[in-house]
Structure 1
């Protein structure tokens, strides 16, 4: 049964699992275990949401059995046997409200396959059309697609990677659907019903439909497929007609744009762009101020180091003469630092002011009982106390 697995799924499955586990470990260690509480909260939330879905299915759907819709149940049993699934999931039919769909889900160890009435009705005249949908959803369960999502979650939103893994899984499940059909054309026609609708699929020219896959080589079609969780239906139909069919190559430039768009699942590239804008906005709101604060403190730290000789010279002059020099020039000190900052002193109290690129830094002298001069560092014009570097604070503690 290994031939039912699309080769790329194996590779992408390993990559996403390894990266996901590394990401979780980083989150847990980096947040000192806070991520574990988030996981616990997420699990509780999952229980409530998933329990509501299962309750809706059981309370409003019709369970397939030998007594209830035996024709559909027979197709379900046959497909389970074809796929060598010994422990059969529970199968239900549910009002689709106009949607051609089916899905698989699980809850606390129990597995479910749900067929929408619209799919069943549309495939009424298709010899084994429903079988394709049953096989596709059984593929999700057989391949454990619903089990590893939590471990992979941190990396599934990554551009290109998350979407590629999702598309690979869908291709694998299409192969499972094909295995439950009597012919490749039957599988392709069942897929094409998602395009042509509940009636027109019957007269659809499958060969012509498959050829439409050649349209996917354009930039925008390539881009939107690269950011989507499903391959184009024309490609899916082509692959069930011939599992070894070579697909048209995508526009190479589309990869560069898609590499910047997070994977947003079924919501598509538009929502992915919104996510990107949101992430960039958050980073700008957090990282930019943090970077600016870092650069400010780095520049001020450099100024503190650069003025050390000046402060030593002023202290020595005062200790020896007991007077404040009239200016820096009076003690042969250049008032300009290497980065262009300007120094000046107050002749009355020997306060040294340094006008830096980020604001004014002020050094205030004080005389100890032993007659020694020590300096404290405070903020001046255009600076706040929070912007002062640690070296400035340590000076005040001396």
Structure 2
């Protein structure tokens, strides 16, 4: 005669593992699917079976739980509704972040442009104050290269009547658009003593 001795603690573990048959209903199965991990009693059974060299045999989940779990929002889990919600959140964030980033880039480009063109306005100031005449071309105010590269943006400048500086953008946020600096003479008596510059454009909206 042969027999095996099962200690109370082991008996308790086996009894706990047997509870896996009680968690195969709809709600228990749904909870397991949404949690993305098996019930503890199933895990205990798996450990005991593997320790004894057996393949764990788990009861099947309720098939209707799979249907609802497919639409349940959970991350991770890849439920259809979960993916929809995730994409909706990402879409909202992009809808807010992308325009804000574009405004930031536009501001940075305009700031770089204003700093780079300050010397052009100063050149017009110096020439007109010294000669009391408007310059006729860029060469008269010392601008030998009308093309400039400012980061991702290129600009070209032309000199119009009455000292107007007209810039054309290529690349960047203002590709193909134009901007003008228009000088307003300031007088001391009959002589021009300085200029107040105005920035104007017909196709660039104010960057706020």
8 Å Cα contact 2:73/2:81 also seen in 1: yes
Which structure has the larger Rg over C-alpha atoms?
2
Match of 2:35 in 1: 230
Structure 1 segments unaligned to the other structure (5+ residues):
1-178, 198-224, 247-262, 389-398
- SS state of the match for residue 183, structure 1? helix
Alignment CA distance shift 1:289-1:345 (3 Å): same
How big is the shift at 1:182?
Answer: 8.8
State which of 133, 136, 139 in structure 2 corresponds to 1:329: 139
Alignment CA distance shift 1:281-1:362 (3 Å): same
8 Å Cα contact 1:187/1:240 also seen in 2: no
Q: Which one is further off, 308-317 or 366-375?
A: 366-375
Match of 2:194 in 1: 372
Count of aligned pairs:
159
CA–CA distance in 2 between the matches of 1:319 and 1:244? Answer: 96
How big is the shift at 1:309?
Answer: 1.0
State which of 350, 364, 367 in structure 1 corresponds to 2:163: 350
CA–CA distance in 2 between the matches of 1:324 and 1:244? Answer: 96
Match of 2:63 in 1: none
Match of 1:113 in 2: none
8 Å Cα contact 1:343/1:355 also seen in 2: yes
Alignment CA distance shift 1:265-1:346 (3 Å): same
8 Å Cα contact 1:239/1:245 also seen in 2: no
Residue 82 of structure 2 corresponds to residue 264 of structure 1? no
Structure 2 segments unaligned to the other structure (5+ residues):
1-11, 51-71
Match of 2:121 in 1: 311
Match of 1:287 in 2: 97
Alignment CA distance shift 1:192-1:284 (3 Å): closer
Match of 2:107 in 1: 297
CA–CA distance in 2 between the matches of 1:185 and 1:194? Answer: 19
What are the superposed Cα offsets for residues 237-269 of structure 1, whole Å, 9 maximum, x if unpaired? 5224367788xxxxxxxxxxxxxxxx9349952
What are the superposed Cα offsets for residues 47-82 of structure 1, whole Å, 9 maximum, x if unpaired? xxxxxxxxxxxxxxxxxxxxxxxxxxxxxxxxxxxx
CA–CA distance in 1 between the matches of 2:20 and 2:91? Answer: 44
CA–CA distance in 2 between the matches of 1:325 and 1:236? Answer: 87
With normalisation by structure 2, the TM-score equals 0.63
Residues 117-156 of structure 1 aligned to structure 2 (within 5 Å): none
Match of 1:341 in 2: 155
8 Å Cα contact 1:364/1:377 also seen in 2: yes
With normalisation by structure 1, the TM-score equals 0.35
State which of 18, 21, 29 in structure 2 corresponds to 1:189: 21
Structure with bigger strand share is 2
* RMSD (Å) for aligned C-alpha atoms: 3.3
